Amino acid sequence: MKMKKFTAILLTAMMVLSLAACGGEHEAPDNTEPPRTGTGDTQTPDTTPEKAPSEPSEASEGGKRILVAYFSATNNTEGIAQKLAEGLGADIYEITPSEPYTNADLDYGNSKSRSSVEMDDPSARPEISGAVENMEQYDVVFIGYPIWWGEAPRIMSTFIESYDFSGKMLVAFCTSASSGFGRSDSALRSAASGATWLDGHRFSANASADDVMAWANGLGIN
C-alpha cells in the first residue's frame, strides 16, 4: 500500500516536471525578443530598413508606416529623400518620368525648353514610369521635389492625382537654388484635399542628415 502511494506521488511529480519542461520550450522568457513568426529560420534579425515600395517595411515611427516619395532631376532632392527615409526607417520611392529630363529639357533660360513649356501649362501631366503598388498601406507620405519656377514640377501633380490619399498625412519637402518653400505645394494640396497636410520645408542641396531629421522629428507624426 505504502509502495503504491509512493509510486503515485513519484508519477505525479514526474508528470508535473515534464509539463513544466514542455512549457519552457514554447514560452519565451520575458527578457528575450518575441520569435519572428512564420520563418522558422535562425538568422540574426535584419536591421536594414526595407526599401521596396511593393512591400512596406515593418519599421515605422510610432507604429506608422511611412513612405518617402520624391522626384529629382539632378539628384539634389534625392539626397535629402535618402537621409529622410534612412532616419525614419521609411520606404523610399523615386518618381521616375517615362521620358527622362535631359539637360536641354531643364534649361530654364530657354522659354521653349520642356520644363518651361510644362511649367507654363498648369494642366501638363508628364507621365510617370511605374507606380507605388501598395499606397493604401501607408499612413504618412513625404513628398519631395525640386522647386521649378517657385512651384512643384508638374510631374508631382501626375503623382498626387494617381492615388487616393484620403485620411493619410502628407508633408512636402523641396530643394531649390535659393527660393523658399513658399506655396510650392498648393496645387498638390488641392489635388489631395482629403489628406492632412503638414507644413512643408525647403532644404539646400547640401543639408545634413541631422538637419533633415531635426525637421522630421519636429513634425509630431509619431
Ligand X SMILES: Cc1cc2nc3c(=O)[nH]c(=O)nc-3n(C[C@H](O)[C@H](O)[C@H](O)COP(=O)(O)O)c2cc1C
User: Could you say whether residue 184 binds ligand X (CB under 6 A)?
Assistant: no
Pick one of 77, 82, 157, 158: the residue that binds ligand X (CB under 6 A): 77
Stretch that binds ligand X, among 34-42, 122-130, 175-183, 211-219 (CB under 6 A): 175-183
Adjacent-strand bridge partners of 170: 141, 197
Asked if 205 is part of the footprint of ligand X (rule: CB under 6 A), the reply reads yes
Decide: 115 and 105 in contact? Cβ < 8 Å.
yes
Q: Does 72 bind ligand X (CB under 6 A)?
A: yes
Choices 7-15, 35-43, 88-96, 143-151; region in contact with ligand X by CB under 6 A: 143-151
Minimum CB separation from ligand X for residue 205, in Å? 5
Asked if 124 interacts with ligand X (CB under 6 A), we say no
Residue 170 backbone zone (phi > 0: left; psi -120 to 50: alpha; other: beta): beta
Binding residues with ligand X: total (CB under 6 A): 21
Terminal C-alpha separation, the chain: 69
Which stretch in 19-27, 33-41, 66-74, 91-99 sits in contact with ligand X by CB under 6 A?
A: 66-74
Q: Which residues bind ligand X (CB under 6 A)?
A: 72-78, 106, 108, 115, 146-150, 175-179, 205
